[in-house]
């Protein structure tokens, strides 16, 4: 998942970015409200981690602008030393998904991000079902019954993202940015053919356990969609 860290403290931003990178998140950084607004206009993010004490504006102003102008559908978690009840109420009323006062535990932040993701996509547990398969989010495993499938990190991220958006068409660019972050467009390795290869590999591994069931549908000229209900192709 893609995260925009809006924090003017370079050391804190770097620490947070390193931690989230280890947890398989792709991170961009912004030190000012203006820089954050520009990145939100250009890139798609799953999360914005927002400090309120920015050098050019109050973070609450940025939050209000993003929600008012619908600049981004990202989930927004406020991370701020301003932990008064009034600040928390204002932040949540303006559209923040959560509010965590500084200093905070990185593990607690991760837990809250996972909880926000589950709420946003209607997931009530730490596992997602796909026919006879179970995708466990915390363990980062895919099982068919008791059998574990050998997915690479990028294959897991791809299938997870498709599952969260089950039934919706995702473009190759969206999938690429989800796996590699906004830097995807800057690398020759992260082209649409590379996404096609990952999809092919995932399909093959699913078909080994449920042959004849077509889970991932190609939307010609656009991208891919995970079917809400799998169907066997006609004979």
Q: How many folded domains does the chain comprise?
A: 2
Same domain? 108 vs 175: no
Tens digits of residue pLDDT in 140-162: 899 998 899 999 988 998 998 89
Between CA 92 and CA 95 the distance in angstroms is: 5
User: What whole-number percentage of the chain has pLDDT above 90?
Assistant: 48
φ, ψ (nearest 5 deg) of residue 62: -65, -45
pLDDT of residue 188: 41
* Cα dist from 166 to 101, 107, 121, whole Å: 34, 28, 10
Q: Are residues 115 and 47 in the same domain?
A: yes
> How confident is the model over 99-150, as pLDDT tens digits?
998 888 898 998 899 889 888 777 666 788 888 899 988 788 999 988 999 9
Same domain membership, residue 115 and residue 72: yes
Instruction: Domain of residue 27: give its range.
Output: 2-121
pLDDT at residue number 153: 87
Look up the pTM and report it: 0.65
pLDDT band at 224 (very low <50, low <70, confident <90, very high): very high
């Amino acid at each position: 998942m893609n995260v925009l860290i809006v924090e003017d403290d370079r050391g804190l931003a770097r620490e947070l970015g390193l931690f989230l990178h280890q947890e398989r998140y792709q991170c961009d950084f912004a030190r000012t409200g203006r820089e954050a607004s520009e990145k939100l206009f250009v890139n798609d993010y799953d999360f914005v981690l927002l400090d309120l004490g920015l050098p050019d504006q109050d973070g609450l102003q940025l939050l209000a602008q993003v929600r008012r102008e619908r600049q981004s559908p990202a989930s927004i978690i406020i991370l701020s030393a301003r932990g008064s009840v009034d600040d928390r109420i204002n932040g949540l009323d303006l559209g923040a998904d959560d509010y965590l006062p500084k200093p905070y535990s990185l593990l607690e932040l991760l837990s809250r991000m996972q909880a926000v993701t589950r709420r946003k996509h209607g997931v009530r547990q730490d596992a997602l079902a796909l026919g006879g398969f179970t995708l466990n989010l915390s363990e980062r495993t895919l099982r068919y019954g008791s059998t574990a499938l050998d997915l690479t990190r990028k294959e897991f991220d791809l299938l997870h993202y498709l599952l969260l958006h089950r039934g919706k068409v995702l473009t190759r660019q969206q999938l690429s940015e989800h796996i590699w972050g906004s830097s995807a467009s800057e690398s020759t390795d992260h082209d649409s053919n590379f996404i096609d290869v990952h999809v092919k590999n995932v399909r093959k591994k699913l078909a080994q356990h449920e042959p004849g069931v077509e889970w991932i549908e190609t939307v010609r000229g656009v991208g891919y969609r995970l079917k809400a209900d799998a169907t066997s192709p006609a004979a």
